[in-house]
Amino acid sequence: MENIAKFGTRLTAYLLDILLIYIVLSLVVNTKIINPTYDKYMDTYDELNEILNVENVDDISTETLQKVEESYYKINKYGVSYNIATCVIILLYFGVFQKYNNGQTLGKKIMKIKVVSNNDEKVSLGKMILRTLPLQFAYIGCCIPLILSSIMVFALDMTPYFYVYASITSIFGILNLVNLIMVGFRKDKRGIFDLLAGTKVVKE
């Protein structure tokens, strides 16, 4: 087990990667070719802030709550391009790039760790993507809920959408919490998604 990457090292690499992805996404979502509904998204977001700008909590009526719900629903509709762009960038970076860069993202490269299969061989592209899909990325989200949200927001009415989406995000939130605990406390530092893909993170 002496070659296994420590929790703190993995966490630092992860935070460096999230910072990079967040910067890239911030640039991408402002590009109208990629995100044609950006203006509508921002307008609705501003409207929501105006609705929520109430001095007294007692002033919030049922009508106001309904307007808030409608605004959130519209934001999710106008944010579909952002969701898709997020998933594509995450999968390209943590899946394809990491696969063909010796099992390393830039964060892992800096921290001198890499992803390998459980028998210390290179990880296939399919397995690299498999371990990436369910992972929750801070301030960015998890690919599976984002993909499902992009479909459901057009397939479901407002209220059913929120119930289903809240359930899905809660499930993946719990899974990722368990994953984090496993990486922190297991001797081999393998989380749920490492076990699922047959991978581990080791020192370079």
Write the pLDDT tens digit of every residue in 86-97.
Answer: 899 999 999 999
Write the pLDDT tens digit of every residue in 185-201.
Answer: 999 999 999 999 999 99
**What is d(CA 127, CA 199) in angstroms, rounded to the nearest whole number?**
8
Distances from the Cα of 124 to the Cα of 128, 136, 165, 186, 198, angstroms: 6, 21, 31, 24, 10
State what percent of residues in the chain have pLDDT above 90: 56
Q: Which of 131, 168, 133, 135 is nearest to 149 (CA)?
A: 168
Write the pLDDT tens digit of every residue in 41-51.
Answer: 888 888 888 87
In this structure, are residues 166 and 73 in contact, taking their beta carbons and an 8 Å threshold?
no
Could you give phi then psi for residue 155, rounded to 5 degrees? -95, -25
Q: What is the pLDDT of residue 47?
A: 86
Q: What is the pLDDT of residue 60?
A: 64
Entry pTM: 0.86
The whole-angstrom distance between residue 196's C-alpha and the CA centroid of its chain comes to 18
Write the pLDDT tens digit of every residue in 145-174.
Answer: 999 999 999 999 998 998 898 899 899 999
Angular region, 2: left φ>0, alpha ψ -120 to 50, beta rest: alpha
- Considering only the C-alpha atoms of the chain, give the largest distance between any 2 of them, rounded to a whole number of Å: 61
According to DSSP, the β-strands at 113-117 and 141-142 are unpaired
**Where along the chain do its domains lie?**
7-37+79-203
DSSP 103-157: T--HHHHHHTEEEEETTSSPPPHHHHHHHHTT-EETTTEEHHHHHHHHHHHHHS-
| Residue with the larger pLDDT of the pair 152 and 37 | 152
